[in-house]
Amino acid sequence: MIRVVKASKTYNKGKPNQVDAVNEVTLHVARGEMAVIHGASGSGKTSLLTLIGCISRPTSGEIHVAGKTISRLPEKFMTMHRREHIGIIFQQFNLILDLSVEQNVGLPLFPLNMSKTLISERVDHLLAKMSLSKRRDFLVKQLSGGEQQRVAIARALINNPEILLADEPTAHLDTALTKELMETLAAIKKDARTIVIASHDPLVYNHPFVDRIFEMKDGKVVEE
């Protein structure tokens, strides 16, 4: 499902402040697996996820995601590929605070050629699944942290992705909520989705559903 071959991402190349955020990483995650990328802060987890998630392009190497080589794709096609196959839960949730829950969740579908009613149906369906139906018309800023987290998950799932990427999803959650989240992710995994989580939270990488753990350090995967 995901195959990364010697991929690197270098910021500010050739300048004094050059950073090798991801350095010749090679890894493989099969369909339906749950993988965790573990590493200290600044080790390049987020950067690696953005590469896999078609948000940024590697400076060298190859990346194959969901049957396509994306490492040299124009941005437009990266976006299209992401729309079709990938859902992302961001570290900071990255919700738009003064939009309603419904709009936040439906956001990724707006640029598609989909009617309003169809979008609305899909959103309702997901909100029910995430037990957020009652919060449908609330503004996101009126919600609690746990609820915001679930909105973020709902948004990541709205395009029915085969691959779900989550960047430090538990950073803002307490133990109880973290456990709840892992249950949710486990349930999502059961739908034959591939999940990659970047996290340094033991509650995450020690979870029984995790199939693979990659250890990252200074941009390199040092251990699998």
Q: Which residues bind other proteins (CB under 8 A)?
A: 13, 46, 50, 55-60, 71-77, 79-80, 82-83, 88, 90-92, 94-96, 98-99, 103, 107-116, 119, 155, 159
- The residue with tokens 């559903």 is 209
Provide the mask over 44-63, with x wherever binding to Mg ion is found by CB under 5 A and - wherever it is not. --x-----------------
Helix axes 145-157, 175-190, angle to 10 degrees: 20
Contacts of 93 (CB under 8 A, 6+ apart): 148, 149, 151, 152, 172
Among 15, 16, 41, 67, binds ligand ADP (CB under 6 A): 41
Residue 85 or 207 having the CB closest to other proteins? 85
Please, are residues 209 and 190 in contact by the beta-carbon 8 Å criterion?
A: no
Task: Give bridge partners of residue 28 from the DSSP assignment.
Answer: 3
> Quick check: 39 binds ligand ADP (CB under 6 A)?
yes
- The size of the interface with ligand ADP (CB under 6 A), counted in residues, is 12
> Quick check: 23 binds ligand ADP (CB under 6 A)?
no
Full DSSP string of 108-149: GGTTSS--HHHHHHHHHHHHHHTT-GGGTTSBGGGS-HHHHH
Residue 130 or 214 having the CB closest to ligand ADP? 214
- List of residues contacting Mg ion (CB under 5 A): 46
